[in-house]
Amino acid sequence: MRARGAAVAFACIALCVQTVVLRAQAAASTPGRNVSRDSARSILRGKALIGAFRDSLPRYSGNRLRCASCHLDDGARATAMSWQGTAARYPRYRARRGSEESLAQRVNECVMRSLAGRALPEDGKDMRDIVAYIETMRAAPRPPNVDTVKLVGTPTAGRRVYVATCVRCHGAVGEGTKLAPAIWGAKSYSIGAGLSRQTVLATFVRYNMPYDHQVTLSDQQSADVAAYVLAKPRQDHPGKEHDWPKGDPPDDVAYATDGARANGKTLPSARPLLSRRVQPHQPTPTPREK
């Protein structure tokens, strides 16, 4: 059973790598685009970074996740925050920032929140390679949105789902195992991440988890397990009070924002927070500025 699993996993990896190489080669040989062998290499390196972020870029990582922990199948899975068509949507206005955001800035939002890390230099090689990989999916049609799970969950009911369905891979205290990454605590994503919103987590779980028996939980079970997971402590995201500066946070944002307060919105109940492991990036001054 295990041997067959390993063989299947190996075949999948081989296939994925082959697909990317082919895509990269196709990009490199598209006439008129003048894409060089360097850019094929950049795409492959970008793919490696999103699959092994912490091992490759430990200075920028604040937890044990990789981009592909959430963007499943290296960003290709339609139901898991797919990157198909993403590059064509940027730059775009984002309410959380209250202004327009570039693709590199969007990537850094996930680095700082979902990886609880510090921002990559926007003009550096690492960012260029990650963006080059996401660009390979620019022309892919954007998958239709899955139905958002909007039910409100109950942590006590969610605990039962967690123990029965998730614990064998994600661990008794959400710490992760060899089979799956941490889903709360210091090794997981921060309070400022998209998955810290109950509807976003419940919808991700509804269509993608448990990893080996997808789409077997009901909407209510997905909402309940999300409520349970989000009642647990996780890393803070300093500066989160400045999110949604126009005062329009979605209802399931788990922290108070200045904008909402100014608009008279009631505050969500406080969640248990751990201190941030990687401090937000302080750009090193260039020699001239010193």
Question: Could you tell me the end-to-end alpha-carbon distance of the chain, in angstroms, rounded to an integer?
Answer: 60
Q: Does 207 bind ligand HEC (CB under 6 A)?
A: no
**Other C-beta atoms lying within 10 Å of the C-beta of residue 268:** 15
Q: Does 89 bind ligand HEC (CB under 6 A)?
A: yes
Q: Does 150 bind ligand HEC (CB under 6 A)?
A: no
Q: Does 182 bind ligand HEC (CB under 6 A)?
A: yes
CB of 168 to ligand HEC, least distance (A): 6
CA distance 249 to 228: 22
Q: Does 191 bind ligand HEC (CB under 6 A)?
A: no
Report how many residues bind ligand HEC under the rule CB under 6 A: 44
Listed ranges 1-9, 14-22, 211-219, 232-240: which one lies at the site for ligand HEC (CB under 6 A):
211-219
CA distance 173 to 242: 31
CB of 289 to ligand HEC, least distance (A): 28
Q: Give me 256's structure tokens.
A: 């108070």
Listed ranges 18-26, 162-170, 258-266, 280-288: which one lies at the site for ligand HEC (CB under 6 A):
162-170
Tell me the residue type at 109. Answer: E
User: In the window 220-249, what residues touch ligand HEC (CB under 6 A)?
Assistant: 225, 229
Q: Does 130 bind ligand HEC (CB under 6 A)?
A: yes
CA distance 200 to 250: 11
**How far, in Å, are 175, 203, 253, 254 from residue 200 at the CA level?**
21, 5, 10, 12
Q: Does 55 bind ligand HEC (CB under 6 A)?
A: no
Long-range pairs for 215-218: beta carbons < 8 A, 24 or more residues apart: 217/161, 217/165
CA distance 108 to 272: 25
Q: Does 278 bind ligand HEC (CB under 6 A)?
A: no
Give the residues lining the site for ligand HEC (CB under 6 A). Answer: 50, 53, 65, 67-72, 81, 86, 89, 106-107, 110-111, 114-115, 130, 134, 165-166, 168-170, 179-183, 188-189, 193-195, 200, 205, 209-212, 217, 225, 229
